[in-house]
Each structure stands twice: as structure tokens, then as C-alpha cells.
A and B are shown apart, each in its own frame.
Chain A
Amino acid sequence: MKKPLKIEDMSKQTGQLVEIETEDLMPLPTFDGQPIKKVQLKTTTEEQRKQYDCSLDGFSALAIPHPKTIQDEEEFLKRFLSGLGKLFSKEDNWTFLQPLVHSLDYCVKCQLCSDSCPAYIASGKQEIYRPTFRPELLRRLINKYLKKQNPLIAKLTRSETELNFRLVARLAELAYRCTLCRRCAQVCPIGVDNALISREIRKLLSQELGIAPREIHELGTVQQLRVGSSTGMTPKALENLISFFEEEIEERTGKKIKIPVDKEGADMLLLHNAGEFLSWPENIEAFAILLDAARIDWTLSTELVGYDAVNYGVWYDDIQLAKIAVRHAQVAKDLKVKKINVGECGHAHKAFIVVADRVLTGDLNIPRESALPLLEDLVCSDKIKTDPGKNSFPVTLHDPCNIVRLMGITEPQRRILRKICPQFREMEPHGVDNYCCGGGSGFAIMSSMNFQDWRVQVSGRMKLKQILEAFQDVPNPEIKKYVCAPCSNCKGQIRDLLNYYDIGEKYNIHYGGLAELIVNAMVDIEKPFIDWEWH
């Protein structure tokens, strides 16, 4: 059962602050008359709790070790306060200072944003996940430790929160209970962005204390900059994979296609999320088939970082964000391409086309665009001949937050689906009002300790509900169903959602990208391109 909780409990209360129980979570709809199975949330082991702080809600995204000595704790808090100060520096944080100040100074705590947060709602309205909870805590710390409010004012503004290791560790974990989908910001009448505050907390932790989830930092941005891709894939491995893709394309479609690699002066450099190369090669192959059929002058790169569109920096660290964006642009510049096109990867869209737009200058400022308008042009201008009869199965569309709410690209993908999928149905709500898949801001690749349970049962719960509702009229397992998710991380999260609850294979619900659906509908390809194998 939920216990009442106050912000001050974050520093005062010892032990685990909140217990997340399956019974408290938002109920899921039945499907085909059957309830969706209930899975007990995994807890961390005694050993893990001894080593790391899991005292927020029993989950851990960061694995912050307990300080060994009082000196360690003091140093930790000193660094935290130093980082907190830097968030307000025009040198250190010009990148997001104005949005941060606006959100901290003008929130009137009307709580209008609460019901827009899928994690808060799905958790059964756990107070700690309320979008205003962590900003309010941060605000109180700022009042007391940065602005050094006098005791009377501090009392009047309730800014008497005591700073200790427990508090910072919990706040750090809490910054990783928000998917940065920014649905809360969208409904705020004053323009306050509480998700941005989550990201600013992440940034402080990463850029000052070197604390970030291992999957995002060490195995993510650092690995990408060192070996070329966050997947660990080297240029050599990529070259082998490309040959394999060419063979597979020929096998599946009879088409002999040479995938252009490192072609200097090509019109377009295509950047894929490297996760596609390893987990969903059919997406890479579908793009190659489409671009070849439309006779587009394009290329892939095998240069370090140039073959992996991901930029995890966008979730937690401005320096890492800038490093990777610059590297991507450098690769394009060296290839002398006219433009860069970002494939089906939501966060790479936002990172490279929108956020890093104010990082790239001079000859690195190469035009960048989304793959979705390009695909729309191919399909809707009949440059690719399609037969909607080939896609005669129920299809729904998952909108990646980064592409819709944070970039405003909502219609190209819909115009394609309306043209090639006669049984296309929307999720509700959709478009700019969509719900996050629950894997946003890096969660889809984070599974350390028991974190996967949280992201599947809590942050992804609303998306699962939407998927089930979208197919309520076709529950029959004989009917193949397709969740189109034009984003690599969203696909990973949807895969995990369907697997976790054993409903993908059981009800014949599949997921995949947009390009695959287009190729599946192509007139001049005889065999179905989608293989309907559950993997």
C-alpha cells in the first residue's frame, strides 16, 4: 500500500523510501477476454543493497556506491553543491540556463502536469514520480545552499531540507525515473519544463561527479567515441555486416544491390542507429532497397562514429552530446556529402537535427533532415510503387516522443501508413500528445540490477495499455498485428514489453519499423518482406 510522503522525507527517512507494489500499478485492459498476467516486481539482492544505494524505491539505475567514510560523504556533497552552482553559470551551462531558470523560478505548483505523466499515472500515482516532486526538492536545495536564504524566509518557503548523501543519491535515482518525454512541459500553461529539470540533475551528476548509468556513459558515449559505436561494433565488423545484408537482400527479394559505403560527394549520408545493424537488420536492408529503387545518391560511412547515429549525450551530458554531434558532422564533411539524413531513431533525430543545431557551425553546419519526409516523398509521389493489399493486416503506429512532440514531425509517417496499410488504426492519444514507450531517455538500453522491471512495469505500462487497446477489435491470435515504431530504442522497449508479459507471440503482435512496411508493400517484390518471426 502507498504511504503518504513529503518532500522532506527524502533526506530524513532512513531505509527504503517507497515500496512499489504490483497491486498499486495502473490496471491493464484484458485482451481476448483474458487478463494480462501479473508479474511480481523483482527486488534488489541483499548484496546489491549493501553495496549500492537503492533507498529511493528499491530500484537502481545508477548503482551509486555508499560512501565508505565521512570524508567521502563530505567530498561527495561538496562536489554536488559545486555542480549545482555551475548549473547557473553562463559559461558552464549557457546551453540550458534560460530554460532552467524559467522552470525553477516560475512554476506555481498547480499540478496540472501530474496527470500527463505516464510514469506517475502508471505507478498508481506514487508521489515521488509526480513531475513537480524533484524540481521542488531541487528548488529547496538551491534556496538553502546556493541562495543561502535567511532562516525565516527558508521557513516561509519550506526550504529547510537537509543535504546528506541519502538525499543526493535518491535525487540522482529520481532523475532516472523520468523518461524526458516532456508531456508535462507540453501541458504547462506557464511554459515550465519539469522534464528539463530531470535532465539538468542528470547533467550535474555526470559533468561534475562523473555519475551516469553505465549503459549510457561508459558503454554508451565513451564506447562510441572510442570504438565507433555504442554497440561495440567496429568498422571492420560493419563491413562484414554490410556484405551480409547485400546477400540477404538478394535472398529475400531477388534484387542485387550494392550498398554504397564511404562514397565521396554523395548527395546524402544516411545515419542509422547501430542497434539496427545488430538487432533489426531488416530495417537497414529496407532502406537500402528503397533508396536503390528510387535511384537516390546516398552512402553509409564506415568511419568511427559515422555509422552510429546514436547520441546518448542528449539524455544526460552536454559535453558528450557536443562531442558526438561534432564527430557526426565531421564524418559528413570529410565525405563531402550535401546533406545528412537520420534513419529511424528518435533520439538521434532530436539530438542531431534539433538540439545540436546550435553546436555545429561553419563547415560542420551541414543540412540535416529526418528520414520520414524522404520516405513520404518516395511513397506518396509514387516513386516507389506500392500495393496496399500486401499490407492487409492491422497496423498501429507508435509515435516516438523525440520525433513528434519534440520535433513536430507527425504527418509524413501517417500519410505513408494511410496509403499502404488499409487497416491502419491510431493509438489514443497520438501525435504530439502520444505516450512515451517507457524506454525513453536511455531506459530502453538500461537493464542493470532490477531496473528492467521498473521500465517495463511502470514507465512502459501506459504504452502497453495503448497497444492492447489499439488491437482490441482483432484479438484473434490467427490475425497478424503490427506495431510500427520508427525508432530503434522504442522498438527495443516494445519488444521487451511484449516479451515480458508473454503477449507478442501469444497474440501474434509484432513490431517493426516503417521502411519494412513500405518494402513489404512494394509491387515489384514478390515475397513478403516482413518475416513475422517473433524475435
Chain B
Amino acid sequence: MKILLVVATYAGYIFIVTMYTVKIVKYLKLPLHLRSEIYPVRSDQHEREAKSYLESLEWWTKPREGDFIGKTLYLIKEYFLLSDYFRWDKGYWLFLYPWHIGFILIITFHILSFLGAFAELLSFPVVANSPSMIGSTLYYLSLGIGVTSFVAGLFGSIGIMIKRLADEKLRDYATPLNYFTYFFLLAVFLTGLYSWYFADPSFHEYRAFWKGLITFKPIDVQMAASVHILLFALLLIYLPFTRSLHYVTRFFGFFLIRWDDKPNLRGSKLEKEIEGFLERKVTWRAPHVRHGKSWRQNAVETFHQDQKGIRL
């Protein structure tokens, strides 16, 4: 069993990191697109002023504000508060929020468990009355965050499932896979809570398991903790097949699409890049398209042909 847990945990982490990396790289390698920003393009969405540089006369002669930090802070704030959901649908937010927070905190709990194990390997005991502040801080943080994640996640999983089933507009668009995901996460949170309450109230065993992982000396853990560890590892393998990456792509979606108002100034690097895209070949087949010719040829050279009614 202990070998299975170690292999599953390593496999889970390696798989999710690899898959997410592949997906992110694939996303980022998608070509530059035409502008389709939506306003307000700004960090604080709740003040409804637009502040577009296009409001200025001869805007290209004036400096533009980027506000990367403001926008980043806005997105981070949204990760932790989901305030857009709160604003538009409080009933949904009530369950979605604990579900999301449960998920964020369980990841945090695992990072803390790893750090705790590492601290113990460096001879900082992670216990309540640790002589080291690092030890006691890690102990209380792990305890607080771990338990909160299990409780919040459990409440959220049950709530979001009921909400999906009870609300017609959500139910009609839900798939069996959605419900499987809710059940899966519910099982992870529930086994975590059970394990903490009945088997490992200080998460000492959990840290010991992590120490075994780091040192490649696997240890036996109680059945309750084993089930939770195994389920969590399987969850890591399952997540890349869901839409869970929206945690990350949301960031790109805002910066690269919704807030992408970068103008194409003459002589700029962007303009050079666009020139490359205009040379790509078009294979659309409608009568008004010159099949096999480039975008540039389609846009520029057809005009006089259109004039003569050759290609309309």
C-alpha cells in the first residue's frame, strides 16, 4: 500500500504539472489575434468609467497607461473573493465560493505539508509547542488551512451539486461528467475531514508521509489517511481532463484577449508580426474568397477584380 501511495502521489504531481504546462504552452502559442477588447480595460471593474486611450484626440501622440500591477491585483482579488459571482448571483456564489476556496486551500495545505516535512527534516519540529517559530507556525497554519479546506470544500461540493440539480438553467447544461467531478471532490474533502477527525488530528502522520516521499523512504499510514492520499493523487491526474485550468487561463484570457488594447503603431514590433500573419494562406471556399492565396492577396489584390465583377 505504501508503495502505491508514493507512486500515485509522484505520478499525480508529475502528470498535472506536465499536462498543465503542455496546455498552457499550447494556449500561449495560439497566434496573435485581431483586437477584441471589452471595456472597461482596467484594474477595478467596479468603477464603470472606461478610461480608454481612444477617448483622446490624436491618441497616438500621447502616452498610454499600462497598469499591469493594478490589473494583476484585480485578478488576484477576484481569485480569492469571486466578487463578480457575488455581484450577479448571490445564491450561486454561496456554494461556489466555499467550493473554490476549499480547492485553493487544499492545494495550500499540501504545500504546507511539504514545507512541514521539509522543516522536520531540517530538525525543526512541527508541533504546537515547537521551540522553533517556523515549526509552530507551520503546525498551526497546516491545521487551520487543512481543516478549513475540508469543511469549506465539503459544504461547497454538496451545495454546488444541489444547486446544479435544482436550478433549471444550470441543470439543463450540466453533463454527467460535471456531477462526477462534484462527487470526486466531495470524496476528497470528506476523506480528508474524516482522516483528520478520526485518525490524524495534528496532521503529524501526513507530514511523515511527505517526509517519506522526500527521502524516498515510504511509511505506512492509517487506512483513513491512505484513502485520502490516494484520492487526492487521482484527483491530480483527473483535473487536467476538466475545465479546471480556467484558474490559469483566466489570467491569460483577461490580459491577452479582454484587456488587450495594444495599438499597432507604424514601425512597431507588433506591425512586423502582423505582416507575417498576412502572408498566411487562406483555404476558405466561399465564392468571394481567393482560395489558396494569402490574407494580404485576398485583402489587397481582389479589389480591382471585384470591381470588374470577376469575384464577388
Contacts and interface: CB of A to CB of B under 8 A. Distances in A.
B236 to A, nearest CB: 20
A404 B88 contact: no
B82 A432 contact: no
Contact of A222 (B250, B258, B280, B306): B306
B57 A110 contact: no
A355 B49 contact: no
A110 B170 contact: yes
A322 B54 contact: no
B95 to A, nearest CB: 11
B215 interface: no
A189 interface: yes
Contacts of A326: 299-300, 303
Contact of B37 (A105, A210, A354, A433): A354
B242 to A, nearest CB: 10
Contact of B88 (A108, A187, A339, A377): A187
A412 B53 CA distance: 12
Interface in A341-385: 353-362, 365, 367, 369-370, 372-374, 376-377
B92 A209 contact: no
Interface stretch (B101-109, B147-155, B206-214, B270-278): B270-278
Contact of A109 (B60, B89, B174, B277): B174
B68 interface: no
B282 A91 contact: yes
A445 interface: no
Contacts of B275: 361-362
B137 interface: no
Contacts of B252: 102
Nearest to B170: A111
Interface residues of A, number: 99
Interface stretch (A93-101, A246-254, A481-489, A519-527): A93-101
A369 B50 CA distance: 17
B202 to A, nearest CB: 36
A462 to B, nearest CB: 17
Nearest to A111: B169
Contact of B283 (A92, A108, A374, A404): A92
A406 B38 contact: yes
Given A208-B286, A406-B39, A411 B280 contact: no
Interface of A, secondary structure class, is helix
A359 B253 contact: no
A432 B37 CA distance: 12
Given A225-B306, A225-B307, A431-B48, A189 B264 contact: no
A390 interface: no
Interface string B269-311: 0110011011011111111110000010011101100110100
Nearest to B82: A189
Given A115-B88, A408-B55, A191 B40 contact: no
B129 interface: no
Interface in B234-273: 243, 245-246, 249-250, 252-254, 256-258, 261, 263-266, 270-271
Contact of B250 (A106, A185, A320, A339): A106
B35 interface: yes
A109 B78 CA distance: 18
B223 interface: no
Contact of B54 (A210, A360, A370): A370
B220 interface: no
A69 to B, nearest CB: 20
A407 B257 contact: no
A187 B84 contact: yes
Q: Which 10 A-B pairs have the closest CB atoms?
A: A408-B52, A191-B253, A408-B39, A408-B50, A322-B299, A207-B284, A94-B31, A189-B84, A210-B286, A98-B30
Interface of B: 27, 30-41, 48-52, 54-60, 78, 82, 84-85, 88-89, 92, 96, 169-170, 172-177, 180, 243, 245-246, 249-250, 252-254, 256-258, 261, 263-266, 270-271, 274-275, 277-278, 280-289, 295, 298-300, 302-303, 306-307, 309, 312
Interface of A: 6-7, 79, 82-83, 86, 89-92, 94-99, 101-102, 105-112, 114-115, 127, 130, 132, 136, 155-158, 182, 185-187, 189-193, 196, 206-210, 217-218, 222, 225-226, 304, 317-320, 322-323, 325-327, 330, 339, 353-362, 365, 367, 369-370, 372-374, 376-377, 404-412, 431-433
28 contacts: A7-B172, A79-B285, A96-B34, A97-B30, A97-B33, A102-B27, A106-B250, A109-B173, A110-B92, A112-B89, A156-B175, A157-B176, A157-B177, A191-B254, A192-B253, A193-B257, A193-B258, A319-B289, A357-B34, A358-B32, A359-B278, A362-B271, A373-B56, A404-B50, A405-B38, A408-B55, A408-B261, A410-B52
